[in-house]
Amino acid sequence: MSWLTYACQHLPGVTVIAVGGDLDATNADRLESFIDESRQRPDDHLVFDMTEVCFLDSSGLRVLLNAYTHCVRHGGSIRLAALRPMPARMVQITRIDAHLPVHATVEEALTIVLAPPAPDNGGSVA
């Protein structure tokens, strides 16, 4: 069995989930359970800190996509941060980055998630 670590940090409206190790078929279900337990609210935004993920296979991608589907249904979002080259390549070649934005750092992802929404000008043009 591959080793996998995970931890979470709660911020207002955002859950940061730090993952480490190899995310594969031997442990993806454990991460999925952890994600479900870590959410404070269904509409929370999730930021995955992937700094320590060395390997990512299709089972790991399935977990991330399942979390994405749940978040979108409830008004949240998911962002991936600090991907290493191998997991980044997997995300890129599968084109999952079209749904799961990738950021260079956790701080960058949090800046975007925590930014106040742009004011709606009612469609008028100035």
* Pairing outcome for strands 4-11 and 14-23: antiparallel
With respect to residue 81, please indicate whether it lies within any of the assigned structural domains: yes
Which CATH number fits the domain that encloses residue 81?
Answer: 3.30.750.24
Residue ranges making up the domain that contains 103: 4-114
With a CB cutoff of 8 Å and minimum separation 6, the contacts of 94 are 61
Confidence at residue 41, expressed as pLDDT on a 0 to 100 scale: 86
Confidence at residue 2, expressed as pLDDT on a 0 to 100 scale: 76
Domain tally, the chain: 1
With respect to residue 74, please indicate whether it lies within any of the assigned structural domains: yes
With respect to residue 121, please indicate whether it lies within any of the assigned structural domains: no
With respect to residue 122, please indicate whether it lies within any of the assigned structural domains: no
Confidence at residue 42, expressed as pLDDT on a 0 to 100 scale: 84
Encode burial over 78-114: b for 16+ CB neighbours within 10 A, e otherwise. Answer: bbbbbbeeebbebbeeeebeeebbbbeebebbbeebe
With respect to residue 124, please indicate whether it lies within any of the assigned structural domains: no
pLDDT in tens, the chain (126 residues): 678 999 999 999 899 999 999 999 999 999 999 999 998 888 889 999 999 999 999 999 999 999 999 999 999 999 999 999 999 999 999 999 999 999 999 999 999 999 877 776 665 555
What is the model's pTM?
Answer: 0.89
DSSP letter at 116?
P
With respect to residue 120, please indicate whether it lies within any of the assigned structural domains: no
- H or E stretch covering 61: helix 58-73
